[in-house]
Amino acid sequence: MMELNGRPADPDALATLALTNYGHFTTMRVDDGRVRGLGLHMERLAGTCRALFGAELDTDRVRAYLVRAVPATGSLVVRVTVFDPSLDLGHPSAAADPHVLVTTRPAGAPTAPPFRVRTVPYVRDTPALKNVGLFGLLRARREAQLAGFDDALFVGPDGRVSEGGTWNVAFVDGAGTVVWPEADVLPGITMALVRRDDHALAKVTTADLPSMRAAFATNAAVGVRAVAAVDDVALDPGHPVVAALQEAYAALRGEPV
């Protein structure tokens, strides 16, 4: 399904999105008409719309479009993209008229198997904003997969580990404490839902990885996913801390669309 402002998407309008690549989005998993962290997704859309377009987004209208898109039962992944079809490449500072594109795709299993990642030197462009500029992160993912890994884990110029292309990452240290990297990252919705007061925020570098016992990735499509290895550092995908977070996330019922 693909609708723009609640109507079948006009190919001419979509051409602007493809050719200018300026806009933002959020992706959510819908299970039986419910979304974990739906309010947080709406806050993300509204805040990023102000940052990129200087315009207020009517989130009630966005939710009305979601109601049209999702069935009462079953699971799917919904992406809400906000962009301006009239954006002029030469004058992007003109007054904006953001439109809302809602697309859906089949949802996979609610859990995914452990995966192996390779560290790559990369810093996301404006990491705090979930924008549609995906070239760099997809290239990093492609090169990691060609090297035999499943995905890429970003590392900054100072050696700090930050995030994956479409997921946040956290580690479990030798004391069993969950450690989120202190770095410029996209503040993920799933990360916000699973993060606890007893978790730590600290600088994590590639030199620290051998001392970690486990790691996991978070995103809306698969929830909490264990990391089996980073580069040649093996991690415990069945660590009880990771298993407990997976169970806690699965138990969240979500908010009705």
pTM as predicted: 0.96
pLDDT tens for each residue of 27-47: 999 999 999 999 999 999 999
Domains in the chain: ranges and CATH: 2-106 (3.30.470.10), 115-256 (3.20.10.10)
pLDDT (0 to 100) of residue 54: 97
209-218: average pLDDT: 98
pLDDT (0 to 100) of residue 41: 98
Helix residue ranges, H only, the chain: 11-20, 38-53, 59-69, 135-146, 189-194, 240-251
What are 111's two structure tokens? 């859990």
pLDDT (0 to 100) of residue 78: 98
> Tokens 């580990």 appear where?
161
pLDDT category, 109, cuts 50, 70, 90? confident
pLDDT tens for each residue of 175-197: 999 999 999 999 999 999 999 99
Helix orientation angle between 38-53 and 59-69, rounded to the nearest 10 degrees: 120
